[in-house]
């Protein structure tokens, strides 16, 4: 990986001086166009060995471009707010919006490299991280970003030489610390780990550029030229998103699918409802106060047709909880700041802290439901979204979050009845709009999208629970019970520690039961309380 | 304050049941209108003694209203990110946007009360806090917010009784902790402090409502009724902002003002410029690395006419700094999320952490410059903005931030020359728009607004430095030197600790020299290097 960056590359001062004005003008022009278009963000990762010139490279970019539209993102020790979220949260919250250039001094590569060197990660785990990183960067690029990764390289001798130089100048001596010399000792190990990781994460979409760091003019000019070429090419690139395949024909020619298999006639009597409601709310209240929840969090996802009863179900959950412990996030059209980011960004920003719950009323699944059906995004976009969503939820689970997802299914007739009812009640009238009536017309298309969604995003770790929701009482109890069971299973002693949430969810009986019940909808009528 | 909340108020269950449906419908309708209008946020503070029913009151509001448009803001121990900012930062970042209701469980009252009880605040300091709070709340209300503050009250006997009740029920026993009984011992002190603070902060704009907490039906119904009345009244209130006075005629009938007194002919030769630039950048680099800066932060504000040279000055500062340590914030039109908040919110969100610098290219002073001159806000709005801005900067300084403000003054002729020059240079062309030409026509109005601004917002703690900027080299050196001097003065041993920044700035020679120089512009030509 580093061979061609140890050749003693050199550029003369004269050539440097001759080339810089045009380079600078081109970079500045590209920056202006980038800002004017407001179409894509640029992510520049500046990595490399200590003393190789990462800092100097960044400074040169500031000198050449307009510092007002540059941000440098540095990642020191994570704050308490960051430690209570998935490891990628701090990078998501720092992503530059469209139109801006973000320089990453430190990135999602820093931790895996450090951890592999100290032995905290096995080789296999490092490869898993590499795969995860590749998917993350592919997502960024698919969402329009230009991702350029520079590795400024120094040979071991050059590094030693560099430290000596820095030390001998009183203006730079402070930059050489005992840690620097320590770094020389682990030089070989760093080469081994980083060259492997770079190789595994060098993709056409987000390539690595290894730059020899010794000669300042060569280093700066190389970075500048590569950046200019990439910016120019990306800005000229008007290719629409790849068309993607037509949605595959569904296999349910016999009319049987996970939704049609649900028994929507399931009901629950008033008395049983009241008893169960009180009992389950009490149980939920206790679980949310469980000391073992203090290092976990809960993400609740509600999806369902209009008027399926999401709001009512959320209200029954909220009633059992301390208001200081949860937030309800109603998902509507994204704001301007959210539109300037990858579509998952607006959900990442609401990822809850430890001991907290985030209840999403509609979710990231909008991408494969309403956006797919209404054509708000290209086929290629929603088709890749399944994988992106699976990655997102996996990261949540890895960080100890408990992810519980409900689809509330009602019949077309029941929906019509509820729409009409809503129009009668003053304070419910606002809930029903023209759009709701229009959506009804696409019922079958939506149902097919839901079936695809369940097939592609349900797993033992993050199962979908399909809820027979024609009877509100039945639905609310099923939701509350499922939630309690999932929470209880996840808080079992074996799963208290961070990273163990995954195993807990996989092995817990409750989780397995749920998927089965949801998929097959076999709960016999009349025994609804065990649905 | 609490007398009428110790009378044993009671409401029968029957009356409660009778009244709730209509109350709920009205609240829900108001919530819908609030959300539809997107004109104002609602802040509900729920305070009071422990066990008085704060939690229950919040839960009832969730039961009555739509939980999707409610947020409960709880404030536990501040995170590291919050500790490195002014005390009010955590409240600013939690403000509900327009259209939403935020329930504050804990607020800006919690700390002052606690600190006064433990003796960490003197009575006089508490009063200063009260005055600060009043100004903060007045600002919120002026910006459109409905601010309602509930104090749920229990007498000492009632509190003791309540703890016993909670303890005797296994479902609530966990809520009574050793801390609760401790609370009983400080009951009298709490009464003394809180009744005083409530009295001092009860204003027409943001009133306190003290509610007896013993009887659940009475408590809930009272809060509900008050909220309904306030919401209904506020939503119907279409009164435009108070007209405000016509701007006072300026006193500079002789043509002398702080701007005209500046000697715009000051220049600096090329050789002196280069020497000074290198020297000052080196000094700045050292100051930014000073260990004493690790618990301080720096806020740099740049204002000036179009083409006055803000960008160039910022670039020279940036070049001296580690890119990981600063952010440049170019201030343009506010985003949608920013427009849903008080106008200062978008600056609060960029307040830097310890050891970091925020460089604002245009600032919160836009309110009293462009927004005033162009009529983007009402006269009453920009007239109150001086005070609001002074409060904002005072809070920054109190938290140890160093605030440095520059006005770059150029002549009309010089501006014209630069506009024409920009049109000639490809990569500078984007900097000049039709709007820039239009702004030129209002030159005198802008100059008057600047004079008012300097008069009303310059003080020893946060002085304006007026920069003679017809000569870019002179301006850049003056800016860099001022910055270094301010930073140096603030880092003097006496001012290392938090809260001491203020004193340092007040007493430092440098700061005093600046204001004088800026105001009088007396620096003799030719001795520019000491301007």
The owner of tokens 């492997």 is A196
- CATH for the stretch B270-493: 3.40.50.300
Sheet bearing B146-153, strands edge to edge: B70-74, B101-105, B42-48, B146-153, B208-212
Average pLDDT in the B122-132 region? 93
> Mind telling me how many Å the CA of B81 is from chain A's nearest CA?
7
Express each pLDDT in B492-502 by its tens digit: 876 444 444 44
CB B295 within 8 A of CB B354: yes
Which are the contacts of A392, defined by CB distance < 8 A and separation ≥ 6? A344, A347, A348, A364
What contacts A425, CB < 8 A, 6 or more positions away? Answer: none
Domain boundaries, chain B: 3-236, 270-493
Strands across the sheet containing B401-409: B326-330, B357-361, B297-304, B401-409, B464-468
pLDDT of B526: 35
Q: Each residue of B153-207: pLDDT tens digit?
A: 999 999 999 999 988 988 788 888 888 888 889 899 999 999 999 999 999 889 9
Spell out which residues of chain B touch residue A291, defining contact as CB-CB under 8 Å.
none
For chain A, the C-alpha Rg in angstroms (whole number) is 27
Residue B176 tokens, joined: 């009574």
Residues of B in contact with A25 (CB under 8 A): 426-427
Residue for token pair 């995954």: A502
Residue written as token pair 């204003």: B203
- The DSSP bridge partners found for residue A467 are A408
DSSP, residue by residue, B421-450: HHHHSGGGGGG--HHHHHHHHTHHHHHHHH
Q: CA A108, CA A122: separation in Å to the nearest integer?
A: 17
User: Which of helix, strand or coil describes residue B392?
Assistant: helix
Predicted local distance difference test score (pLDDT) of residue A254: 78
Q: How far is B301 from chain A (nearest CA, A)?
A: 13
pLDDT tens digits, B208-219:
999 999 999 999
pLDDT tens string B54-74: 999 999 999 999 999 999 999
Tokens of A31: 């920056």
The residue of chain B with its CA nearest to that of A26 is: B427
Q: Is the pLDDT of residue B490 over 80?
A: yes
Other Cβ atoms closer than 10 A to B153: 27
**Smallest Cα–Cα separation from B364: which of B383, B349, B344, B350?**
B344
Query: Which residue of chain B comes nearest to A74, CA vs CA?
Result: B324
Q: Which residue has the higher pLDDT, B22 or B427?
A: B22
Residue predicted with more confidence, B421 or A502: B421
> What percent of chain B has pLDDT above 70?
88
Of A67, A325, A430, Cβ closest to residue B314:
A67
Give the residue among B108, B139, B45, B122 at the shortest CA–CA distance from B388: B139
Contact B319 A28 (CB under 8 A): no
Closest CA to B131 of B112, B151, B150, B110: B112
Nearest CA in chain A to B56: A322
CA distance A158 to chain B (A): 23
Residues sharing a CB contact under 8 Å with residue B125, sequence separation 6 or more, in sequence order: none
Which residue among B67, B105, B336 sits closest to A318, beta carbon to beta carbon? B67
Residue of A nearest to B282 (CA): A171
**Measured between alpha carbons, how far is B301 from B363 in angstroms, rounded to an integer?**
6
CB < 8 Å to A72, chain B? 323-324, 326-327
CB A523 within 8 A of CB A263: yes
Q: What CATH architecture is A3-236?
A: 3-Layer(aba) Sandwich (3.40)
CATH of domain A270-429+459-517: 3.40.50.300
Residue B528 has pLDDT above 50, yes or no: no
pLDDT at B33 over 90: yes
Task: Check A327 against B71: CB less than 8 A apart.
Answer: yes
Write out pLDDT tens, residues A216-264. 999 999 999 999 999 999 888 876 656 666 666 666 677 788 999 999 9
- Inter-residue contact B126 to B112 (CB < 8 Å): yes
In the block, tokens 């704001």 appear at A335
Chain A residues close to B29, C-beta within 8 Å: 426-427
Out of A67, A328, A335, name the one closest to residue B337 (CB). A335
Q: Do B55 and A322 touch (CB under 8 A)?
A: yes
**What gap in Å lies between CA B324 and CA B357, rounded to an integer?**
10
Q: Which chain A residue's Cα is nearest to B172? A: A286
pLDDT, tens only, B285-310:
999 999 999 999 999 999 999 999 99
Inter-chain residue contact A67 with B427, CB threshold 8 Å = no
- The 3-class SS string of A293-326 reads HHHCEEEEEEEECCCCCHHHHHHHHHCCCCHHHE
Q: Under 8 Å CB-to-CB from A479, ≥6 apart: which residues?
A: A313, A316, A317, A406, A465, A467
pLDDT of residue A59: 92
Q: How large is the average pLDDT for residues B386-413?
A: 95
Label residue B521 by pLDDT band (50, 70, 90). very low
**Which pLDDT belongs to residue A406?**
98
Q: Is the pTM of this model over 0.90?
A: no
Query: Residue B89 has what pLDDT?
Result: 95
Residue in A with minimal Cα distance to B327: A71
Residues A62, B335: C-beta atoms closer than 8 Å: no
In chain A, which residues have pLDDT < 50?
495-531
Question: Taking CB atoms and an 8 Å cut-off, how many pairs form between chains A and B?
Answer: 111
Kindly provide the ipTM of the predicted complex, given to two decimals: 0.81
Q: Shortest CB distance from B62 goes to which of A103, A282, A323?
A: A323
Show the tokens assigned to B453. Answer: 């601004």
Q: Residues 6 or more apart from A72 whose CB is under 8 A from it?
A: A58, A102, A103, A105, B323, B324, B326, B327
User: B188 is written with which tokens?
Assistant: 């009298």
What backbone torsions phi and psi does residue B78 show, to the nearest 5 degrees?
Answer: -60, 145
| A400: its two tokens | 């100890």
Give Rg (Cα) of chain B. Answer: 27
Tally of CB atoms within 10 A around B237: 11
- Structural contact between residues B504 and B494, judged by C-beta atoms closer than 8 angstroms: yes
pLDDT confidence of residue A504? 41
């Amino acid at each position: 990986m580093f061979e061609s960056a140890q050749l003693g590359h050199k550029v003369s001062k004269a050539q440097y001086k001759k080339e810089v004005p045009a380079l600078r003008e081109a970079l500045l022009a590209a920056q202006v166009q980038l800002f004017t278009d407001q179409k894509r963000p640029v992510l520049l990762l500046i990595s490399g060995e200590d003393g190789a010139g990462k800092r100097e490279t960044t400074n040169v970019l500031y000198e050449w471009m307009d510092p007002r539209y540059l941000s440098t993102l540095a990642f020191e020790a994570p704050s308490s707010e960051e430690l209570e979220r998935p490891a990628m949260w701090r990078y998501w919250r720092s992503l530059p919006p469209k139109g801006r250039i973000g320089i990453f001094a430190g990135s999602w590569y820093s931790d895996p490299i450090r951890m592999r060197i100290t032995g905290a990660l096995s080789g296999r785990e490092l490869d898993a991280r590499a795969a995860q990183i590749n998917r993350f960067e592919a997502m960024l690029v698919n969402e329009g970003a230009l991702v350029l990764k520079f590795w400024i390289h120094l040979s071991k001798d050059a590094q030693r030489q560099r430290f000596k130089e820095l030390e001998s100048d009183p203006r730079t001596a402070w930059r050489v610390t005992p840690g620097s010399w320590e770094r020389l000792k682990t030089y070989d190990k760093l080469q081994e780990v980083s060259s492997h990781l770079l190789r595994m994460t060098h993709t056409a979409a987000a390539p690595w550029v290894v730059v020899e760091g010794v000669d300042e003019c060569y280093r700066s000019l190389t970075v500048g030229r590569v950046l200019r070429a990439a910016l120019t090419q990306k800005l000229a690139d008007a290719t629409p998103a790849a068309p993607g395949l037509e949605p595959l024909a569904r296999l349910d020619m016999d009319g049987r699918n996970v939704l049609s298999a649900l028994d929507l006639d399931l009901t629950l009597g008033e008395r049983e409802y009241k008893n169960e409601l009180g009992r389950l709310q009490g149980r939920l209240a206790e679980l949310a106060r469980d000391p073992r929840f203090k290092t976990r969090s809960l993400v609740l996802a509600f999806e369902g047709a209009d008027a399926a009863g999401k709001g009512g179900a959320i209200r029954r959950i909220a009633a059992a909880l301390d208001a200081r412990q949860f937030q309800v996030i109603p998902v509507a059209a994204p704001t301007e700041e959210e539109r300037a980011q990858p579509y998952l960004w607006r959900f990442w920003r609401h990822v809850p802290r430890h001991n907290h719950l985030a209840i999403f009323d509609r979710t990231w699944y909008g991408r494969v439901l309403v956006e797919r059906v209404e054509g708000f995004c290209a086929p290629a976009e929603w088709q890749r979204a399944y994988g992106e969503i699976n990655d997102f939820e996996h990261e949540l689970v890895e960080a100890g979050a408990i992810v519980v997802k409900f689809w509330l299914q009602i019949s077309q007739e029941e929906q019509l009845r509820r729409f009409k009812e809503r129009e009668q009640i003053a304070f419910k009238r606002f809930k029903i709009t023209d759009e709701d009536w229009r959506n009804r017309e696409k019922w079958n298309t939506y149902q097919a999208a839901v079936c695809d969604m369940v097939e592609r995003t349900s797993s033992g770790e993050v199962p979908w629970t399909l809820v027979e929701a024609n009877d509100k009482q039945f639905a609310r109890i099923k939701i509350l019970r499922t939630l309690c069971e999932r929470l209880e299973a996840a808080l079992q002693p074996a799963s208290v520690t961070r990273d163990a949430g995954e195993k807990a969810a996989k092995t817990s009986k409750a989780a397995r039961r749920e998927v089965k019940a949801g998929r097959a909808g076999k709960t016999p009528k009349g025994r609804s309380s065990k649905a």
